[in-house]
Amino acid sequence: MEHHFADCTLDDARLTLTRGGTAVAVEPKVFDLIHLLVRNAGDLVTRDRMVEEVWGGRIVSESAMSACIAAARKAVGDSGKAQAVIRTVARRGLMLVAEVSAEVITPAAVAAPTIRTAAQRIRYCRSEDGSAIAYAVSGEGPPVLRFGPLSLHDLELEWAYGLHRSWISSMALHTCYLRFDSVGSGQSERVLRDVDFEVEARDAAAVADAAGFDRFAAVSYSGGCIQALTFAARYPERLAIVGGYVEGRSRRSADASPDALKSMIADGWARPESAFASAFAMAYFPEGPEEERREVQRMTQAASPPQVMMRNRNAVNDATVAHLLSQVRCPVLILHARDDAVHPLSQAQKLAAGIPGAELVVLETANHVPLPGSPCWESYNRTLAEFLTG
């Protein structure tokens, strides 16, 4: 739902705030405070209620609460002196005094871009073998490096498509978000090389160095967890894993059934809108929505030629990170769909059990990664943002 007040729009599906049509970067707790006030516009919100809903009932210092309130006022263009939007009720709490209107938006509208900029800036660095690696940085805030599945991303297409732009926006509103295309795909050099996850981890380190990242968090999606865990065992800071696993498909049992997704790649990856490619996307996003699923299909087909896709599929099927889990000493959060048919929840449970101190959050969806408009989208984004920003 979009909440309109003053010259601001707060979207509680995308977890975004805009003022005067421009995205405003706010920390998760600041967003939650504004959201609480907007939902209760015209009513007193006591300090006890703020502590309960924004800080989860935990003890919070007066200085931390005052800083959060000041940041919320700044985000909506208000000030402690003017108080045209957020008014202080002495010794009791706060009240949002601006008029608020609400608008229910459809999943299609949720997928609209929210980063307002003339163009994406793509830069290049070199891997240790001299291959060109494309990368791009979006947003401001704590630095976060993304590990995506090998060869399934294209920086240009992600920026052009609504769903992927929405994913970028949800991260870039809270972080300085660094994405890169793996060698052989997307905007990186299209060369075919053997899959070596140690090399892929060093490629990620080269990208981070080129972007000027020193200490930073990382987030991985699906098979990107293999490179991410290889990286985290050597460059520990903070890691979130979405849809990850310990063992590739062929390692999970001695009598594992043939990989149907490999057949889909072999028979239809090179043909746009093929039924085989559609079935591949359906396996990852059975709940849809349909248009968003088709967008994923179009981008992944364009990002990687069939031979690269098949090579990578074989590599991840045979991969295991079991030997790395005990070496990861940074904070780790694992988010996983309860009904994920691609990588079952049991794989996420093995990750959480094997990594010291790791935490697991189970998402109520069958989609491999939550999509905008799904019931768990808001809580997923809030949980991820709070973890990655510390």
Beta-ladder partners of 147: 220
Let me know: does 8 contact 18? Beta carbons within 8 Å: yes
| CATH of residue 340 | 3.40.50.1820
How is residue 145 written in tokens? 């490096």
52 and 139 belong to one structural domain? no
Let me know: does 327 contact 358? Beta carbons within 8 Å: no
| pLDDT tens figures, 100-152 | 998 765 444 444 434 444 478 999 999 999 999 999 999 888 999 999 988 78
98 and 117 belong to one structural domain? no
| CATH of residue 100 | 1.10.10.10
Q: Is the pLDDT of residue 273 over 60?
A: yes
| pLDDT tens figures, 220-249 | 999 999 999 999 988 767 788 888 889 887
Let me know: does 284 contact 367? Beta carbons within 8 Å: yes
Query: What residue has token string 């889990």?
Result: 325
Distance from CA of residue 30 to its chain's centroid?
Answer: 19
Q: pTM of the predicted model, to two decimals?
A: 0.69
Helices 62-75 + 47-54 axis angle, to 10: 80
91 and 124 belong to one structural domain? no
Domain boundary among 73, 88, 105: 105
95 and 146 belong to one structural domain? no
Nearest-angstrom CA–CA distance, 235 and 100? 46
252 and 122 belong to one structural domain? yes
| pLDDT tens figures, 294-332 | 888 888 888 887 888 788 888 888 899 999 999 998 999
Taking the CA of residue 386 as centre, how many other CA atoms within 13 Å lie in the half-sphere pointing to its CB?
14
Q: 176-212: string of b/e by CB count within 10 Å (b at 16+)? A: bbbbbbbbbbbbbbeeeeebebebbbbbbebbbebbe
pLDDT of residue 87: 95
155 and 173 belong to one structural domain? yes
Name the domain count of the chain.
Answer: 2
209 and 354 belong to one structural domain? yes
Range of the domain at 225: 109-388
Q: Residue 349 class from Cβ within 10 Å (0-12 exposed, 13-18 middle, 19+ buried)?
A: middle
Domain boundary among 90, 105, 120: 105
For the beta sheet containing 22-23, the strands, ordered from the edge strand earlier in sequence to the opposite edge, are: 22-23, 16-19, 8-11, 2-5, 100-103
pLDDT (mean) for 143-167? 87
| pLDDT tens figures, 1-31 | 789 999 999 988 777 899 988 888 787 788 8
